[in-house]
Amino acid sequence: MEQYIIGYSALGCSFLYRVPQIYKIYNSKKGEDISAGMIHCQNTSYVLYIVYGYLISDLIYIISSITSIIQNLIILYFKYRFESHKGGVGGVGGGKEGVEIAGVPGLTGGITEETRIPIK
């Protein structure tokens, strides 16, 4: 019985430790500091933990891994959602529209209102 208390306590901590990160990304609307490669690597390990948990019939492994994958997917969703709302190269992405070059709409050369240097 004590082993289950320890296991479910670990499961609770696994659930809680990403919640502040998700909250911070959501509130700041910034996800560029999150490494997508690291998240994908973690998700691969969690999939392997799910298989391992199944093979040894350990529900705690399975539940904690599924929970972690879901949280990582939420983090990745916010990362890509907020990155796509920024002005990007060639005016791609949302956010501020790029400054037109030669009066041609959509031809911005990656210049945005935020990066343009005013000529005096």
Task: Locate 28 and state its tokens.
Answer: 């700041």
Provide the residue-wise pLDDT of the chain in tens; the chain has 120 residues: 788 888 888 888 888 888 888 899 899 988 888 888 999 999 999 999 999 999 999 998 899 999 999 999 999 999 998 887 664 443 344 444 444 444 545 544 554 555 555 565
Spatial CB neighbours of 91, under 8 Å, sequence gap ≥ 6 = 97, 98, 106, 108, 110, 112
Q: Could you read off the pLDDT of 83-108 as tens digits, one per residue?
A: 876 644 433 444 444 444 445 455 44
The predicted pLDDT at position 117 comes to 55
The predicted pLDDT at position 34 comes to 87
For the entire predicted model, the pTM comes to 0.64
Spatial CB neighbours of 53, under 8 Å, sequence gap ≥ 6 = 59, 60, 61, 62, 65
Q: Quickly name the fold that domain 2-83 has.
A: Monooxygenase (1.20.1280)
Domain with CATH 1.20.1280.290 in the chain: 2-83
